Amino acid sequence: MAEDVLKSGDLPENPERATLEGRNKFMGFWFFLGGETVLFASLFGTFLALRNSNAGGPAAEDIFGLGLVFIMTVLLLTSSLTSVYAMYHMKNNDFKKMQLWLGITVVLGLGFLGMEIYEFYHYVHGYEFGFTTSAFSSAFYTLVGFHGAHVAFGLSWFVALMIRNAKRGLNLYNAPKFYIGSLYWHFIDVVWVFIFTVVYLLGKVG
């Protein structure tokens, strides 16, 4: 029995919480998500307070195009499902399929990020809607840009995990890492649900 349990390929049910370290990460990460909720709330609150203060610059209904936002929403929502698939294969101890579904998640996330960069570029150059144009533009770029930065960070996180563990395979040491990465990804989608509703849809309704 000299075998290292942490590196054993035979995973128990809920491998992400099977070790003390894994449980600590799991708890700590949910604590962090509670904090992130408040952080985004302060940005949402600022945006809601300033969304009509456009200082003569473009207003929400002038610039937002719902088609692009809808495609971005579907991309991010689908990437949330593909990371659920990755965790499904993690629980069945199928490392290759988990890596594959994480890869699909990363591709969808990159698509989302690319469209967001295009969107911002379009606002700045097509409408002269820059960060300092109005209180509305500052609040908009801060809120949506902060979310975009979370997407970029989540993508780097997944890519780093996939490369670092490519030769290790799945074990009790890295299962919590993958699980927590996917929790972060879902949380990014949670925030986006409120962004597309509060920023874009309410912006169009008035």
Report the interface residues with other proteins, using CB under 8 A: 13-14, 17, 26-27, 30-31, 33-38, 40-42, 44-46, 48-50, 66, 70, 73-74, 77-78, 80-81, 84-85, 88, 91-92, 183, 186-187, 189-190, 193-194, 196-198, 201-202, 204-206
Rounded to the nearest angstrom, the gap between the alpha carbon of residue 202 and the centroid of all alpha carbons in its chain is: 22
Q: Outline where 1-65 has alpha helix (H).
A: 20-50, 60-63
- Least CB distance to other proteins at residue 6 (A): 19
Burial of 20-54, coded b for 16+ CB within 10 Å and e otherwise, reads: eebeebbeebeeeeeebeeebeebbeebeebbeeb
Spatial contact of 155 and 188, defined as CB atoms under 8 Å apart: no
- The tokens describing 49, both together, are 């307070």
For other proteins, the closer of residues 81 and 124 by Cβ is 81
For other proteins, the closer of residues 8 and 121 by Cβ is 8
For other proteins, the closer of residues 18 and 124 by Cβ is 18
- Least CB distance to other proteins at residue 174 (A): 18
- Least CB distance to other proteins at residue 194 (A): 6
